[in-house]
Chains A and B, each alone.
Chain A
Amino acid sequence: MGQLTLKKVQKFYGTYEVLKRIELEVKNGEFVVFVGPSGCGKSTLLRMIAGLDETSAGDILIDGKRVNDLPPVKRGIAMVFQSYALYPHMTVFENIAFPLRVEKMPEERLKAKVEHAARILHLGERLQQKPGMLSGGQRQRVAIGRAIVREPKIFLFDEPLSNLDAALRADMRIELAKLHRQLKATMIYVTHDQVEAMTMADRIVVLNAGEIAQTGAPLELYHKPANVFVAGFIGHPRMNFLPVTCKGASDAGIEIDFLGQTALIPVHPRAGMVGATLTLGIRPEHIAIGSGDLSLTITPSVVERLGANTVAYASLGEDSENYCAMLPGTVALRTDEPVKTGIRAADCHLFDQNGMAFERRVDMTDIDMALFDPAA
């Protein structure tokens, strides 16, 4: 079992509150990814779960048992560090065997366990080498091997792939996902890379400035971000935000006005919004050439041709951020030549003055069967 509960977990550095009353429930066998910009507290939270950093207030429970005051090894966790943290003077075998040597496990069982872990991680031929002779990916696998042999209830990963190059990272992502299926263990994974988060997670926890901005399945965060932060953080290129005025609200959605054009955005409305300034969010990949429910003529200042896609960046005004459109790679676009683009109202996100989203009328079961809960 590897079930984790965080109850009002807080962390102070002096008087500065790094983590603000974090509440989280991680189910046994779940792959949960903490993601957020640097300095959001995600690594600190992981280190608190590991027992490397002190918890200032609140409770950390593993399988229902409060572990705040237990040392890491008694918590039933294993951790893989960003920098691998291998012991350079020991062979791969001894590195993987280290936790078992600490336990004083009999030599025969130890050997069997290390070899089993090495088989899973394809390290069999490297067992007698020193870490210095291995490539980055192999080193990271040794670090994972050291975690596996202890058979922990919960695996903790602290940005384990961020030191690898892009190609290797993609490979290791797949291997980690396989490993999770194979071990069926609870895994908590910290990253600042949303691709890693989106591809591996059962559930993503987006952290911003020490608070959980949103928790949800990857596609849930993509289609129904709870606030402007998550909307901007998940998805690449970043979502575009446009200021609009609320004209009216009905059961069908909210009618907005954008530069004289009106459109009905299908979201769950709230009362008293008429006349307020709202924020309309549209993902670059949902912008198309031609007219839509809302049309916008843009003059690209930079055009990036990626092959599959062509990304156009245009300025909508003096101080505004770049307006970004991701178009099919076949579109003939030129810088400084105006082009008419359109967006569908159904693709739009709408946020109130506080940056909180109006829930979109999107049926998630249509998008991802895995999210379909038969009990509901």
Chain B
Amino acid sequence: MSQPAMINRYRWYELIGIYAGIFLFLSFILAPFVEGFLVSLKPLSLLFSSPYRFWPENGSFEAYRTMWVSVPGFARYIFNSFLISTVVTVVVLLLVVPSAYAFARFKFRGSAALLAAFLAVNMFSGAVLLIPLFRLMRSLGVLNTYFAMIVPGVAFLIPSAIWLLRTYMMRIPRELDEAALVDGASHIYTLCRVILPIAMPGIAVVAITTFIGSYAQQFIFALTFNSKTEYMPLPIGLYAYFGRQEVVWNELMAASFVGIAPAVIVIFYLQRYLVSGLTAGAVKQ
């Protein structure tokens, strides 16, 4: 019998309160997903029936088949979204890892100001800068390319990534750098062989948030900087289910779930690196 620690012991009414609270918030968060999934199972006619029934009566996965037929380019949209987010994540990591290390370890003039500036950039949402960015892209002649969706994505995701990773790297004991320095290792060598492996959980967090962030923000950039169907990412692609006459709700919902799937898989994969206690035994705490 393992008893929970004293600090984790609650009375029965406290437990009921805790679970009631969890249930309340979870139902708010999850209800749309459940409803979305149920809608995807219903035939379109049933959706507008009155009285409305939540439970799909003769429900089927038919919409998951017809969605590919009614919008033939849908696979391409998923691929585009995935491609853009992956490239954004890789580029952000390549840029952010060395810079976070520099911010965490080196004292240089203007480092505090730079960090504050990064935070300030985060306060502008991308939407505010859309028009200047559009003009910039147009004069560079990169409108209607992947480039136009990737570069702003990277730019807007870098600041928070630097802040996240810098904080993580500051927790890695400085003695490890000093020991490596005494042993003759260069900064780059130390970063690659010592800091990177230890910072892996932090890097995984940054990768996940960047990937999700990029998935979410491509909508606005794709809407403005791209008008070519073949480069459309998923969020724009979903508009294809908005027909002239009606919205094909069941297919739209099915498409949403299918579209999210690759991102979910990536996140589950990255989660493997979210192990704690990687620094165990490095230094005496």
Determine which of B180, B194, B282 lies in contact with A131 in the assembled complex, contact meaning CB atoms within 8 Å.
B282
- Residues facing B in A80-125 (CB within 8 A) are 81-89, 98-99, 102-103
The residue among A81, A89, A131, A139 with the most chain B CB atoms within 10 A of its own CB is A89
Q: What 0/1 readout, one digit per residue, does chain A (203-214) give for beta carbons within 8 Å of chain B?
A: 000000000000
Query: Quick check: is A246 within 8 A (CB to CB) of the other chain?
Result: no
Determine which of B179, B184, B277, B278 lies in contact with A81 in the assembled complex, contact meaning CB atoms within 8 Å.
B179
In the complex, are the beta carbons of A89 and B278 less than 8 A apart?
yes
Query: Quick check: is B198 within 8 A (CB to CB) of the other chain?
Result: yes
B188 to nearest A CB, angstroms?
12
In the complex, are the beta carbons of B176 and A87 less than 8 A apart?
yes
In the complex, are the beta carbons of B281 and A78 less than 8 A apart?
no
Nearest neighbor of A81 in chain B, beta-carbon distance: B175
Query: Quick check: is A163 within 8 A (CB to CB) of the other chain?
Result: yes
In the complex, are the beta carbons of A132 and B175 less than 8 A apart?
no
Query: Quick check: is B173 within 8 A (CB to CB) of the other chain?
Result: yes
The residue among A83, A103, A132 with the most chain B CB atoms within 10 A of its own CB is A83
Hey, which chain B residues are within 8 Å of A77, CB to CB?
A: 182
In the complex, are the beta carbons of A52 and B284 less than 8 A apart?
no
In the complex, are the beta carbons of B185 and A102 less than 8 A apart?
yes
In the complex, are the beta carbons of A131 and B183 less than 8 A apart?
no
With contacts A87-B194, A89-B198, A89-B278 known, is A163 near B179, CB below 8 A?
A: no
Q: What 0/1 readout, one digit per residue, does chain B (174-192) give for beta carbons within 8 Å of chain A?
A: 0110111111110001000
A237 to nearest B CB, angstroms?
29
In the complex, are the beta carbons of A71 and B181 less than 8 A apart?
yes
With contacts A81-B175, A102-B189 known, is A87 near B182, CB below 8 A?
A: no
Nearest neighbor of B186 in chain A, beta-carbon distance: A102
Query: Quick check: is A133 within 8 A (CB to CB) of the other chain?
Result: yes
A236 to nearest B CB, angstroms?
25
Query: Quick check: is A150 within 8 A (CB to CB) of the other chain?
Result: yes
State the CA gap A257–B177 with chains docked (Å). 59
State the CA gap A71–B178 with chains docked (Å). 11
A130 to nearest B CB, angstroms?
6
With contacts A89-B198, A102-B189 known, is A84 near B284, CB below 8 A?
A: yes
With contacts A88-B198, A102-B189 known, is A132 near B283, CB below 8 A?
A: no
Query: Quick check: is B72 within 8 A (CB to CB) of the other chain?
Result: no
- Residues facing B in A137-196 (CB within 8 A) are 139, 146, 150, 163
Number of A-B contacts (CB under 8 A): 84
In the complex, are the beta carbons of A78 and B182 less than 8 A apart?
yes
Hey, which chain A residues are within 8 Å of B173, CB to CB?
A: 83, 85
With an 8 Å Cβ cutoff, the count of chain B residues facing the other chain is 24
Hey, which chain A residues are within 8 Å of B193, CB to CB?
A: 87
Nearest neighbor of B178 in chain A, beta-carbon distance: A52
State the CA gap A150–B182 with chains docked (Å). 11
A56 to nearest B CB, angstroms?
17
In the complex, are the beta carbons of A139 and B281 less than 8 A apart?
yes
State the CA gap A98–B184 with chains docked (Å). 9
Query: Quick check: is A45 within 8 A (CB to CB) of the other chain?
Result: no
Query: Quick check: is B280 within 8 A (CB to CB) of the other chain?
Result: yes
Query: Quick check: is B279 within 8 A (CB to CB) of the other chain?
Result: yes
A143 to nearest B CB, angstroms?
8
In the complex, are the beta carbons of A85 and B283 less than 8 A apart?
yes
With an 8 Å Cβ cutoff, the count of chain A residues facing the other chain is 32
Determine which of A73, A82, A88, A89 lies in contact with B182 in the assembled complex, contact meaning CB atoms within 8 Å.
A73
Hey, which chain B residues are within 8 Å of A133, CB to CB?
A: 281
B106 to nearest A CB, angstroms?
14
Hey, which chain B residues are within 8 Å of A52, CB to CB?
A: 178, 181-182
In the complex, are the beta carbons of A132 and B280 less than 8 A apart?
yes
Query: Quick check: is B197 within 8 A (CB to CB) of the other chain?
Result: yes
With contacts A52-B178, A79-B179, A81-B179 known, is A86 near B184, CB below 8 A?
A: no
With contacts A88-B198, A89-B197 known, is A99 near B184, CB below 8 A?
A: yes
Determine which of A51, A89, A98, A130 lies in contact with B183 in the assembled complex, contact meaning CB atoms within 8 Å.
A98
In the complex, are the beta carbons of A98 and B197 less than 8 A apart?
no
Query: Quick check: is A134 within 8 A (CB to CB) of the other chain?
Result: yes
In the complex, are the beta carbons of A83 and B283 less than 8 A apart?
yes
State the CA gap A86–B194 with chains docked (Å). 10
The residue among A81, A131, A146 with the most chain B CB atoms within 10 A of its own CB is A81
In the complex, are the beta carbons of B182 and A50 less than 8 A apart?
yes
State the CA gap A231–B159 with chains docked (Å). 57
B248 to nearest A CB, angstroms?
51
Hey, which chain B residues are within 8 Å of A130, CB to CB?
A: 281
In the complex, are the beta carbons of A84 and B194 less than 8 A apart?
no
A110 to nearest B CB, angstroms?
13
State the CA gap A98–B182 with chains docked (Å). 11
Determine which of A85, A132, A136 lies in contact with B176 in the assembled complex, contact meaning CB atoms within 8 Å.
A85
Query: Quick check: is A292 within 8 A (CB to CB) of the other chain?
Result: no
Q: What 0/1 readout, one digit per residue, does chain B (246-285) give for beta carbons within 8 Å of chain A?
A: 0000000000000000000000000000000111111110
Nearest neighbor of B283 in chain A, beta-carbon distance: A83
State the CA gap A182–B180 with chains docked (Å). 26
Query: Quick check: is A72 within 8 A (CB to CB) of the other chain?
Result: yes
In the complex, are the beta carbons of B281 and A88 less than 8 A apart?
yes
Listed A/B pairs (25) with beta-carbon separation below 8 Å: A51-B182, A52-B181, A52-B182, A71-B184, A72-B181, A79-B179, A81-B175, A83-B175, A83-B283, A85-B173, A85-B178, A86-B281, A87-B179, A87-B193, A87-B194, A88-B198, A98-B185, A99-B184, A131-B280, A131-B282, A132-B277, A139-B281, A146-B179, A146-B183, A150-B183
Closest 3 CB pairs of A and B: A73-B184, A132-B281, A131-B281
Besides the known contacts A77-B182, A99-B183, 15 further A-B residue pairs in the complex with CB atoms under 8 A apart: A52-B178, A52-B182, A73-B181, A82-B284, A84-B282, A86-B282, A87-B176, A87-B179, A88-B279, A99-B184, A102-B180, A131-B280, A136-B284, A139-B284, A150-B183
